[in-house]
Structure 1
């Protein structure tokens, strides 16, 4: 199956517009090539400029919340007043995800689950249950390779489109957002996301709840310090760290986070609901 033409969201393809950093890098490469042709002695200076531009691109890709390589959702749109978004990565996990769902139900909160395609295929009933309870299922790559940021455009396309197919078939709704493994990426990602109709989403703050022997209080504090409307909070239901008692950190910290959100008079919503609402308002 061709990963491009058979992608379920290809009808929503959006145009790719390179940002200033990418455009500047392309211009620098062209200028360096022209300089070398015109004056071969300029080779060291031209090479130095090209190397510096690549280092800058690499730094941008290693900063998950960077917007230098293209649009990156770091907070909910301004229309999402009184709302925050809870997001969970790396699932589904049959040992943890159902308990996360129960906690969210108890507090009548909705969340966004960035699921790994291969894990979703192994636990299809759990993915359907996430969607059935009113939560959003989004794309977190097919296999969550830690060297994802080193993939070229063809491999990125194959990986993301394959996960897109799996998640769409299981939930009946095509994911609208993509979160890169560990948040790391390269300049090839944004054009691929544009072709698949996906939008990159990162976070406002994260709990670092994958630590081998973490502390739930610290996880909650990282998420709640400075909590404000429109925040996007990141936790993990897949591959979670554990506290000293052996309990998954996400399960130990989540009740505190949910109570704090309620006490602040905020409500949890999905990324797709708030962004869709913002788009509807813009067309009125």
Structure 2
């Protein structure tokens, strides 16, 4: 397992803690003020909940949304695949990456990875990294308490470490949704939160051209792109959208002098400053 890291609450979380203490102190001194205190706390919790529904927010804690500046200067693009491994799609994705000499990070659902250990080995043998995308990919993830979060993240970390031979360094919550309790849980497992610069919605859109446009619009060195080798949408003729988009995406990288890399290229010290 990765070494735990020290958790440092974000400024917003610190301010929320101060607000809670002030509200309790105010009610202790002036009990009649409880409706105001309750309203302030309700507003604070509504704000925190809304921010948890904003995947690219860094207000609840550090969030890797782009590669660090040093990677951008090298002309690197971060390429990530979520929700796998999938026995029909993942091998084809790996073959396309190998043909282009590209590297990527696969945010695996640990329950699926345990069902397909050979695919996890293939990911690692291809020079890619396996990262943590939770144990079950529960739709309730963002509403979980700290105990349930520890189980989802921790069991996934254990399974993926065993299968990949190295501990994941990054975590992406299901659909990118989370709550303020996740950041200290990740710190306990030595993980960093990662999301994306842009995504193509290839898990829901059946139009490869539209997915490609979203991913390539204003593309720049340092961008972190998200696709799906698991839960892949299908075109009208049943072909996974990601397999239609990926070859053209890799060609576009080459034409622009960009290199697709995995998150192994990211320094954790730099990532912590995102």
TM interval, short-chain normalised: over 0.9
| Alignment equivalent of 2:106, drawn from 93, 109, 113 | 113
Other-structure match for 1:37: 28
**Contact kept? 1:76, 1:275, Cα under 8 Å:** no
Other-structure match for 1:252: 244
Other-structure match for 2:125: 132
Other-structure match for 2:169: 176
| Offset at residue 277 of structure 1 (A) | 9.3
Q: Does 1:158 align with 2:190?
A: no
CA deviation vs aligned residue, 1:16-61 (integer Å, no higher than 9, x gap) = 1111111111111111111111111211111110000001100110
CA deviation vs aligned residue, 1:110-149 (integer Å, no higher than 9, x gap) = 0000000000000000100000010010000000001101
Q: Does 1:63 align with 2:59?
A: no
**Closer/same/farther in 2, CA of residues 256 and 277 from structure 1, 3 Å limit:** farther
| Alignment equivalent of 2:19, drawn from 28, 31, 35 | 28
Other-structure match for 1:3: none
Written as runs of structure 1 = structure 2, the 5 A alignment for 1:254-269 is 254-269=246-261
TM-score with structure 1 setting the length: 0.93
What is the rounded CA distance, in whole Å, between the counterparts of 2:158 and 2:37 in structure 1? 44
Q: Does 1:234 align with 2:221?
A: no
Other-structure match for 2:68: 77
| Offset at residue 274 of structure 1 (A) | 2.6
What is the rounded CA distance, in whole Å, between the counterparts of 1:13 and 1:31 in structure 2? 31
The secondary structure found in structure 1 opposite 2:78 is strand
Give the RMSD, CA atoms, in angstroms.
1.2
What is the rounded CA distance, in whole Å, between the counterparts of 2:26 and 2:19 in structure 1? 10
| Alignment equivalent of 1:104, drawn from 79, 91, 97 | 97
**Contact kept? 1:79, 1:278, Cα under 8 Å:** no
| Offset at residue 233 of structure 1 (A) | 0.2
5+ residue gaps, structure 1: 1-7, 280-284
5+ residue gaps, structure 2: none
| Offset at residue 278 of structure 1 (A) | 5.6
| Offset at residue 171 of structure 1 (A) | 1.3
The secondary structure found in structure 1 opposite 2:156 is helix
What is the rounded CA distance, in whole Å, between the counterparts of 2:97 and 2:183 in structure 1? 32
| Alignment equivalent of 2:263, drawn from 258, 268, 271 | 271
What is the rounded CA distance, in whole Å, between the counterparts of 1:276 and 1:149 in structure 2? 25
| Offset at residue 193 of structure 1 (A) | 0.5
| Offset at residue 276 of structure 1 (A) | 5.6
What is the rounded CA distance, in whole Å, between the counterparts of 1:67 and 1:272 in structure 2? 21
